[in-house]
Amino acid sequence: MASTTLYPSDYQVHLFHEGTLYESYKLLGSQMIEEANEKWTKFSVWAPNASEVRVVGDFNNWNGKGYSLHKVNKQGIWTISLNENLEGCLYKYEIITKNGEVLLKADPYAFYSELRPNTASIVYSLEGFKWDDSRWLNYKSKRNHLADPISIYEVHLGSWKKKEDGGFFSYRELAAELIPYVLELGFTHIELLPIIEHPLDISWGYQGTGYFSATSRYGTPHDFMYFINECHKNGLGVILDWVPGHFCKDAHGLYQFDGSFLYDYPNEHDRENSVWGTANFNLGKNEVQSFLISSALFWIRYFHVDGFRLDAVSNLIYWPNQTGRVENNDGAAFLKKLNTVVFQYDPTILMIAEDSTDWPNVTSPVHYNGLGFNYKWNMGWMNDVLSYMETSSESRRKIHEKMTFSLLYAFNENFVLPFSHDEVVHGKKSLLDKMPGDYWQKFAQLRLLLGFMMGHPGKKLLFMGFELGHFSEWRDQEQLDWHLLEYDMHKKIYVYAKDLLKLYKRSKPLYEVDHLRDGFEWIDVNNAEQSIFSFVRKSKKENDLLVFVCNFTSVVYHDYRIGVPNKGSYREILNSDQESFGGSGIVNNKVLQAKEEAFHGKPYSIKLSIPPFGVSVLRLVKHRKERKGDEKEKMHSYAIGRRKRK
C-alpha cells in the first residue's frame, strides 16, 4: 500500500535547487526510515520534465500501477513512501515524459546497483559497518602532506589480478592480496581507477551511471568499506579517480533522464563530448552542483576515502567543442566551489587535478583566486621526459632541454609526477618497451627513468605493472603478467623498484620541501653533449642533502668530476647499475671525499664513476659529532598494528 507521507523538508528542497545541498543523497534516492515503530522505504527523484513518475521493481512485479510518486514542487521533485522494508529489492523509476514517452531509469542516487549487464538499482543501507581506522584518521589529521612522501600505486581492480577462471577478485579478496603487495613495494597510497557504477568494462569506470554506487563487480558497498578500512589499518591512503566532467549515454543512466537534458547542457554543441561519446555535465546548473558535490562528500563520509584525482579537468575549465581555448566560467566556478566545500568538510583530503593545460594557480587556494586543488598532475613533465626517453641515446643531446624545462615551472604548482595508465595503452607501449636499444639497455633505461623520477621534485604516481617490467601494454581484460617474476631481469626490476621507493620514503631531501625552490639545486644543467644531468636535493635541515647524477647514454665514465655544495664525505646509497638490479656493476663502493676545488659553480668537487644508462645517488655523510642528538629519520609509511612509530 503506497503512502504519500514522510515528505522531504522545504529547507532541503530549497538548498538542493540553490546548489548548496551537499547531502542531497539524503533528500533523493531510496531511504529506509523507521517512524512510529513502522518501517518505510522512501523513494525520491528529481524529474521536472515528467508528467508522471512511478517506482517499479521486483517488489511490485515491475508494475507501477498504484506506485505513482507525488510531485513535491514545481521544480520537479517527486516522492513516495511505502510502508515496507524493501532492503535488497531491485527498482527503477518509470518516467512518463510530457511527450508521453515512457523511460525506465536507474536511480541517480542509488547506493548499490545490479551487476552488469543488468541495470536496476538496489535498495541498500550503508549503516552497520564497523570502522576500525581511527588511528589512521588521527595520524592523517596531524600530518602536513606537502612535507610528507607521497608515492601512489595506480590500480585497475579488474585487471591487477584475476582468478583462475578469469573472474574478478572481490573487494575483500583484494584487501588480502593487493594491500600486502603494495606495502611490500613501499607505496604510501593506492589510487583506484573509477569505482562508480558503470555499464561497460572497457570504459574503466570513466563513463559512469552511479555516482553514489560502488560498482558491484567486486562486491557490496560494505565490502568496499572493508577494503578501505584494511588499507587504513595498514597505513595506506586511498585515492579515487572521480569524473565530474561527463557521463555515459546509456538508456538507463543520466542521459535525457526525464526526456529533457536534465544533467547536461541543453545546447548540443556544448553537451556532446565526441572524444568519449559521452555527455558533458551542465556545471552551471544548481541541482547538478548539489549532485556532484554531494557525491564527493559521500565518498569521504561513508567510505573514508583520502582523496580524489579529478579526471580531464581541461574538459571542465574550457568548453570542449570550441575552436581554441574558450574558458568555461561555470566549470571553473564549480571547481572552486567543490574544493572549498571539500576542504571545509575535511582539510586532510587530497584534491588532485589531472590538467594538461597552463591554467594558472590550479593548486592555489580559492581565496587567492586559485582553483583550490592541492595537487596537479605534471603532464608537461611526463610528456617531455617520455619523449626524451623514446629518443635514441645518440640523439638525446639535440633535445636536452626536454629534461630541464620542467624546473622552470616545477614550483609554480604542487605537482604529482605521473606515469599513469594513459601512457601504457592505445599503442603507446609499456614503460619498458618505450626505452630504445637492446634487451639489457631497455631495463637499464627503465631503472634510470624511475631513478630520475624519484629525484625530480614532485610527488610520485606509477601505474601497476611497471614493477614487473611489462613488455606488453596494459590489457584491461587480462591480469598483469605475473609470470614475468620467474625471469631474472624482471625479478631484479621489482627489487629495484622496492629499493627505490624505500630510499624515497627514508630520505627527507626527496619530499620535505619538494614543493619549494629551496629543495632543489642544479649542479650541471647544460651537459647536452654527454647527456648527463646532476643536481642536489635538500631537506629543511642544513647539510641534509642528496646528490643525483644521471647518465642517459651507454658511455661509462671513471674519475668523472662534479661540483658539490658542501665539504665532507659522500657515500653512494643507490646505484641503478648494481648487479643485484640487473646492471653491469659500475658502482662507487668507496666513500668520495670532496676536495676544495671549485667546479660547476660549487665550492667543492668530487670524482666518481658514472655507469651506463645509470643513476647514482650520493648522500653527504654525517659524522658522529654532527649526528649527536639528531633524531633518526623515520619511515613515513608506518603500518598501524605492524610497525611501531619511533
Stated length of the chain = 646
Cell numbers that stand for 257 in this block: 533522464
- Beta-sheet strand order (sheet of 278-280): 246-247, 278-280, 272-273
Helices (H), 66-165: 134-141, 157-160
Question: What is the distance between the alpha carbons of residues 330 and 323, in angstroms, rounded to a whole number?
Answer: 18
**What per-residue string of b and e applies to 435-474 under the rule 16 or more CB within 10 Å gives b?**
bbeeeebbbbbbbbbbbbbbbbbbbbbbbbbbbbbbeebb
Residue 628 contacts by C-beta under 8 Å, 6 or more apart in sequence?
none
Comparing C-alpha atoms, which of 138, 171, 176 is closest to residue 157?
Answer: 171
**Residue whose cell numbers read 546548473:** 285
User: What are phi and psi for residue 119, nearest 5 degrees?
Assistant: -130, 10
Q: Which residue in the list 311, 330, 467, 577 is annotated as catalytic?
A: 311
Tell me the helix, strand and coil percentages in the chain, rounded to 5. 30, 25, 45
Q: Tell me whether residue 354 is one of the annotated catalytic residues.
A: yes
- Determine the angle formed by the axes of helices 439-455 and 379-390, rounding to 10 degrees: 150
CB atoms near residue 565 (< 10 Å): 18
CB atoms near residue 386 (< 10 Å): 18
Comparing C-alpha atoms, which of 77, 72, 15 is closest to residue 46?
Answer: 77
Residue 461 contacts by C-beta under 8 Å, 6 or more apart in sequence?
151, 152, 154, 191, 377, 416, 417, 418, 419, 420
Q: Which residue in the list 133, 270, 272, 354 is annotated as catalytic?
A: 354
- Give Rg (Cα) of the chain: 27
Asked whether the beta carbons of 372 and 335 are under 8 A apart, the reply is yes
The sign one gets for the Cα dihedral 340, 341, 342, 343 is positive
Asked whether the beta carbons of 545 and 536 are under 8 A apart, the reply is yes
Q: State the catalytic residues.
A: 311, 354
